[in-house]
Amino acid sequence: MRAAFLDRDGVINVDHGYVSQWRDFEFLPDVPSALRRLQDAGYLLVVVSNQSGIGRGFYTEADLHHLNTEIAHYLRKTVGVSIAAFYHCPHHPTEAAGRFLKRCDCRKPAPGMIHSAARAHNIDLAQSILVGDNPSDIEAGRAAGVPRLFRVGSEAGDGEPVRGEQCVASLRDVPALL
């Protein structure tokens, strides 16, 4: 099984900063249809997202699970897309509280979420792709052994390119490149 590992904020939805409620969630243009094209091409869709807003006390894991349920329901109902799984990291090494204040192997650029998904869903990482909007997303994919790495958005051309990274304007451009 191959997968498309997808960051959430800035790739799937407009990054309004710590989005945790359906009323604040806004899909980026053409994302639902791009997800459908990835699914039709045989990719299992897996969301891997740093969510330090939990550790910072801005929202709870229950809030995030509810939002993920809403996202999945909307995509299934409107375009027939199934998100196989949502993975998130609630930790932050310096800006969180309590049990969330720590260095971990799940916060990107670490590959922990990708490895967890690969084990749980029998994903062949060598046949998979990752789409993110930050260098940390790309680094996580590379560290996990994902060979096709796409960075979206206006910052895609900024900074030092990460080995294997391909810059695209948005997620809607990715299916045509596979």
Which of 9, 30, 105, 173 is flagged as catalytic?
A: 9
HEC string of the chain?
Answer: CEEEEECCECCCECCCCCCCCHHHCCECCCHHHHHHHHHHCCEEEEEEEECHHHHCCCCCHHHHHHHHHHHHHHHHHHHCCCEEEEEEECCECCCCCHHHECCCCCCCCCCHHHHHHHHHHCCCHHHCEEEECCHHHHHHHHHHCCCEEEEECHHHHCCCCCCCEEEECCHHHCHHHC
Judge whether 133 counts as a catalytic residue.
Answer: no
Judge whether 7 counts as a catalytic residue.
Answer: yes
Which of 7, 40, 137, 173 is flagged as catalytic?
A: 7
The residues carrying an active-site annotation are: 7, 9
